[in-house]
Copies of this chain bind each other. A is one copy, B any other.
Amino acid sequence: MPKLDLTAIPSTNRTTYPEPYAAGMTKRSFRRLGAAGGLTDFGISHVTVEPGGMSSQRHWHSDVDEFLVMLEGEAVLVEEGGETMLRPGDCAAFPKGAANGHHIVNRSAEPCVFLAFGRSEGDCHYPDADLHWDSANNCYTRKDGTPYAAGVS
């Protein structure tokens, strides 16, 4: 059935970030809607961020586009050039290769919910962290290229 039953799709707050970056992710959870709906062209994450939480470390992708639409609540889009409030129906686009690290921070008193679209391919850059996703070696490294220990989940 094309309409997705969101309550039947498992929600998780797992992260593959190494410490100390994983510790900041406990207030966001997500459901993988694309996989649940049988889609393979692009991924869709249904993300909830509790008050005080953030969607991810601030990041940008070398090789894949990202798009998000806010569905419930409100949160701040933090990017290189400043901050923008996002409310239900607001959309944001992040073209591949644009060196504008971004994430969503919930400073409100209520959870926010948004959808994020994109594929998980290519390198990912984290301007605020000693962190880099090295897609050729399928691992997180420090900025000097030293791999973090694998297997954090």
A residues neighboring B (CB under 8 Å) = 1-4, 6, 33-34, 36-42, 44, 46, 64-65, 67, 69, 71-72, 77, 79, 81, 84, 86, 88-96, 98, 100, 102, 113, 115, 117-119
Contacts and interface: CB of A to CB of B under 8 A. Distances in A.
State the 3 A-B residue pairs at the shortest beta-carbon distance, nearest first: A37-B93, A38-B95, A41-B65
Contact of A3 (B1, B6, B84): B84
A2 B71 contact: no
Contacts of A1: 81, 84
A80 to B, nearest CB: 10
Contact of A42 (B4, B41, B69, B89): B41
5 contacts: A4-B90, A37-B91, A39-B65, A42-B65, A89-B113
Contacts of A115: 69, 91
Contacts of A92: 2-4, 37
B3 A91 contact: yes
A89 B71 contact: yes
A92 B79 CA distance: 30
Contact of A2 (B33, B69, B93): B93
A72 B101 CA distance: 30
B71 A88 contact: yes
A95 B65 contact: no
